[in-house]
Amino acid sequence: MPSSKVINEVLDRIKSKEFRGPTRVTQAALRALSDASRASRSGSTREFLEEQAGYGDLLIKARPTAVLLANGVRQVMDAVRKGADQGLKVSELQETVSKTVDSFLIQMERSAAQIGEIGARRIRNGDTILCYGYSTSVLSIVQRALEQGKDLKVVVCESRPEFEGRLMAKEFLKLKVPTTMIIDSAVSHFIKDIDRVLTGADAVSANGAVINKIGTSMIAAVAHYSRVNVFVAASIHKFSPETIFGELVEIEEQDPSLIIPSEMMSQFWGMEIRNPAFDVTPPEHIDLIVTERGVIPPQGAIMILRRHEEISLGGLTGAQ
């Protein structure tokens, strides 16, 4: 197993939940991959390829649900393999890694801006928007809608067990948008005051199901049955190519002490704690997905995946 200080560092930081939202995780992980490649002392291209693939695997496994990260790593590995096939030297491959990472990160930023622009068109003046979990894309949409002079209000769920909603509220308050915080359980109570629900995504599967912060699917169900629109903001890089071939997106379980603090556990001897990080919202409960390529119905996910030129069955198996 290859080992690298920068990689280990970023793995620890991912584990300690320092980064909120898949975008931040991906940015940090890809930068680490680029740094690790630059520090590589591999003597041969084969050695370098193996080393990079090893780092890539470690990073992907740190957050298996973050398809964005997997797609980023996949893009880097595709470029490196292509370079190696063309007979590039290690130093040139190192250059390829850092260039691919840079361009992916730039693409991510551009995507966020485009999603903001497109998504904001679907927000109407006077809307009250319910947000759930931490999402860079959601922030981008709200920011753009405010810039367009729309008068908005947001309602933020606290998002147990990690309270990402508090961070989200902070960001909204910076944008000077009137913000109300509620507990996750109160969504049904307040749904009549809501015009649309807006969430991000950790992954979108081939059938248009959205994998996002635990609780999203319950909120989407309430909204659907209350005839409130559910919008999901997701970059095309979050669409999961594996799901075309029948793979399920893996749902990680998190530390149980987030639910019952360790020092209290002795009072609950024998109790099981289940703490899934994500759930799956079925396409029937989603009105549209806002991507940088435009707005699609969830059923259009397959179209995005098929058109996504970087993704091919060959590239897929290669990244494993």
19/9 Cα distance (integer angstroms): 13
Using CB under 8 A, which of 161, 294, 300, 315 touches another protein?
161
For another protein (CB under 8 A), the number of binding residues is 44
89 belongs to the binding site for another protein (CB under 8 A): no
CA distance 7 to 3: 8
Q: Which residues contact 254 (CB under 8 A, 6 or more apart)?
A: 161, 275, 276, 277
Say how far apart CA 188 and CA 259 lie, in whole Å.
Answer: 22
| Structure tokens that stand for 306 in this block | 């098929």
The b-or-e profile of 39-71 (16+ CB within 10 A means b, else e) is ebebeebeebbebbbbbbbbbbebbebbbbbbb
To 10 degrees, what angle do helices 90-121 and 21-38 make? 170
274 binds another protein (CB under 8 A): yes
Query: Does residue number 166 form part of the binding site for another protein (CB under 8 A)?
Result: yes
If one asks whether residue 128 binds another protein (CB under 8 A), the answer comes out as no
Region from 22-30, 56-64, 108-116, 266-274 binding another protein, contact rule CB under 8 A: 266-274
- Name the minimum Å distance from CB 219 to another protein: 8
CB atoms near residue 289 (< 10 Å): 29
**Cβ-based nearer residue to another protein, 64 or 161:** 161
| 221 is a contact residue toward another protein (CB under 8 A) | yes
Asked if 265 interacts with another protein (CB under 8 A), we say no
Contacting residue, 135, 136, 217, 243, with another protein by CB under 8 A: 217
Q: Which stretch binds another protein (CB under 8 A): 43-51, 70-78, 197-205, 256-264?
A: 256-264
Nearer to another protein, 1 or 271 (CB): 271
Give min distance, CB of 75 to another protein, in A. Answer: 31
- In whole angstroms, the minimum distance from the beta carbon of 197 to another protein comes to 13
Q: Distance between CA atoms of 309 and 11, rounded to whole angstroms?
A: 29
**Is 294 within 8 Å of 118 (Cβ atoms)?**
yes
What tokens were used for 173?
């308050």
Rounded to whole angstroms, the Cα distance separating 285 from 217 reads: 8
Q: CB of residue 184 vs another protein: minimum separation in angstroms?
A: 4
Catalog residues that contact another protein under the rule CB under 8 A: 157-161, 166, 169-170, 173, 178-190, 214-215, 217-219, 221-222, 225, 259-260, 264, 267-276, 279
